[in-house]
Amino acid sequence: MDSLDYEQLFQAIPSPYMVLDRQLRYVAANAAYLKVTGSTWDQLKGNGLFDIFPNDGESGRRLRASLERVLQTGKRDTLAYIRYEIPNADGTGMEDRFWSAVHIPVFDAGGNVTHVMQNTVDVTELQQLRQASFLPFRSHGPGIDLIERAREAEEAQITLKNENSDFRRLFEQAPGMIAVLSGPKHVFTFVNESYTSFIGGRDVLGLDVRSALPDIAGQGFYEKLDQVYETGEPIKENGARVVFQPGPNVPKVELFLDFSYHPIFDNQDNVTGIFVQGLERTESVKAEQARELLLRELNHRVKNLFTVAMSMVNMTARNATTPKEMATILTGRLGALSHAHSMVMSESHPANGDARISFEEMLRKIVAPHLVDQQVAIKLDGPELTLGSKAATSLALVMHELATNAAKYGAMSQPGGVVSVDWKVADEMIEMRWLEQGGPPITGTPQPSGFGSRLSRISVEGQLDGSLAFQWPTDGVVVDIRFPRQNADQ
């Protein structure tokens, strides 16, 4: 034979064949196909399959889905049993026919699917025999048994596909993160929308976890996956910290999540993959951390307050001459301590444990009781200065002692008195000056040796690592306070 006429050979094949392009339009059909469908080539040529043989029901959807699977995957697909109407022989209507079809991909030179070829067999007569009521039970032949088994197998396959589709849809829409990893390298074979969103929209399907998520290296996650795959034992953690970069040119973020790794076994109990579940809990974990930090901070402050208060009571008792004098002095000092503590608490930020208050605002509240009659004045001058809780408590006690002495003996003890308080930051040191003018003239050099003076010195030197110095010019006391700038933040 010199050459084959493939067109003639195609037409001579006794089994029905036809070929569709990617738009499911007819490009070829042999004589057997034309005969079994009652069609002519002129009717089919260039027209769509579903234009010639429309079917909006389940059979039409199954046929279209099978053809599209072949075009998308490049793999053959079989419909073992399908009911499909075609025009009857006299053209007066439609008749039910039953078919078995195989769909085969046709490739171009580059390996791309360009067409799909269908080989179909009309099994209507066998179906009618199976349904015939006059046939005794199991008296039909092997051909009918074959069709019945094929029909049952395909129905089971359709049911399984529908169930798998339902489960896949549930996993995809689940609020928690879900991923399926395959093999010892942990290749992503499935991720749902929540997981994809968590990792910044990265396309990780087909990639192993180390290639897909290189930015989590060194945080123990790879090693835990290896452990689950090797041992077959699941791993679960709550509030696990993970730092990764959700996208290119995006800063790294710190997140917290609950997760579990469960092994996937085959029929021989060998681990073949890992099922990953996760739930992001960043906000709740950080809120819990903030609460713990706040409790520790409150515990620390309360201890400090008790220590200072107990020292006040003991030393005031030793220096006071009467219970009334002790009560008066102690009430004032505890009031100053209370003012400072109240301001710290009102300005504190529970989320980060930060406690910052304004020095000027605190000072105005401490001297306010001595300015009720407006016969004395206070002048404040200095840059914005905020204090931490420890520094605020220490300076509140010092300023209270100075204001109390000024009200008893100095500038606040008579009309026209003026107290000036200046502060500045120089060479990483905070320098403050308390200056009194307009009070009773000072004669001699008083030596501050009472508890108030000792408390002030302890507060500045012991708590702030600073210095406290008194000067006694005739027109009013001068007090200089110096301490490191960094200690103001304590």
- Residue that the structure tokens 């300015």 belong to: 371
Between residues 363 and 449, the one the model is more confident about: 363
227-281: pLDDT as tens digits:
999 999 999 988 888 888 877 777 888 888 888 999 999 888 899 999 888 888 8
64-104: pLDDT as tens digits:
998 999 999 899 888 876 777 766 656 666 677 777 788 89
Position 235, amino acid: I
Residues 6 or more apart from 329 whose CB is under 8 A from it?
316, 320
Tokens of 251: 């800063």
Is the pLDDT at 338 greater than 50? The verdict is yes
Q: In the prediction, which pLDDT does 25 show?
A: 95
Q: In the prediction, which pLDDT does 171 show?
A: 56
CB atoms within 10 A of CB 345: 13
Q: In the prediction, which pLDDT does 231 show?
A: 94
Q: In the prediction, which pLDDT does 148 show?
A: 52
Is the pLDDT at 124 greater than 80? The verdict is no
Task: Compute CA 21 distance to the chain's CA centroid, rounded to the nearest angstrom.
Answer: 46
Q: In the prediction, which pLDDT does 159 show?
A: 53
Between residues 205 and 421, the one the model is more confident about: 421
What is the β-pairing status of strands 467-471 and 478-484? antiparallel
pTM of full prediction above 0.75? no
Q: Above pLDDT 70, what percent of the chain?
A: 71
**Once rounded to an integer, what is the mean pLDDT over residues 423-434?**
90
Alpha-helical runs (H) found in 104-141 = 124-131
Is the pLDDT at 343 greater than 70? The verdict is no
Q: In the prediction, which pLDDT does 195 show?
A: 85
Interatomic CA distance for residues 352 and 350, integer angstroms: 6
Q: What are the C-alpha distances in Å from 184 to residues 96, 187, 210, 215?
A: 52, 8, 12, 20
Contact assessment for residue 460 and residue 481, using Cβ atoms and an 8 Å cutoff: yes
Contact assessment for residue 456 and residue 433, using Cβ atoms and an 8 Å cutoff: no
Q: In the prediction, which pLDDT does 134 show?
A: 42
Name, of 7-16, 287-296, 331-340, 461-470, the range with top average pLDDT: 461-470
Is the pLDDT at 163 greater than 70? The verdict is no
Is the pLDDT at 316 greater than 90? The verdict is no
Residues 6 or more apart from 442 whose CB is under 8 A from it?
472, 473, 474, 475, 476, 477
Q: Which of 54-68, 283-297, 333-347 has the lowest average pLDDT? A: 333-347
Confidence of residue 152 (pLDDT cuts 50, 70, 90): low
Q: Which of 76-90, 405-419, 452-466 has the lowest average pLDDT? A: 76-90
33-71: pLDDT as tens digits:
888 888 899 999 999 999 988 888 888 888 899 899 999
Is the pLDDT at 452 greater than 90? The verdict is no
Side-chain half-sphere exposure of 332, counting CA atoms within 13 A: 22
Between residues 348 and 109, the one the model is more confident about: 109
H or E element, residue 392: helix 389-408
Confidence of residue 15 (pLDDT cuts 50, 70, 90): confident
Contact assessment for residue 182 and residue 189, using Cβ atoms and an 8 Å cutoff: yes
Tokens of 231: 């041992």
Confidence of residue 132 (pLDDT cuts 50, 70, 90): very low
Q: In the prediction, which pLDDT does 79 show?
A: 80
Between residues 166 and 489, the one the model is more confident about: 489
Contact assessment for residue 344 and residue 356, using Cβ atoms and an 8 Å cutoff: no
Planar angle of CA 436, 440, 443, nearest 5 degrees: 95
Q: In the prediction, which pLDDT does 234 show?
A: 93
Q: What is the residue-wise DSSP string for 264-291? A: EE-TTS-EEEEEEEEEE-HHHHHHHHHH
Interatomic CA distance for residues 385 and 366, integer angstroms: 16
Residues 6 or more apart from 469 whose CB is under 8 A from it?
479, 480
349-406: pLDDT as tens digits:
444 445 577 888 888 887 776 665 557 888 999 999 888 877 887 888 788 778 878 8
H or E element, residue 374: none
Is the pLDDT at 422 greater than 90? The verdict is yes
Q: Which domains does the chain have, with CATH numbers?
A: 6-122 (3.30.450.20), 174-280 (3.30.450.20), 285-489 (3.30.565.10)
**DSSP letter (8 states) at residue 460:** I
Q: In the prediction, which pLDDT does 377 show?
A: 85
Interatomic CA distance for residues 44 and 107, integer angstroms: 22
What is the β-pairing status of strands 418-426 and 377-381? parallel
Q: Which of 11-20, 90-99, 131-140, 360-369 has the lowest average pLDDT? A: 131-140
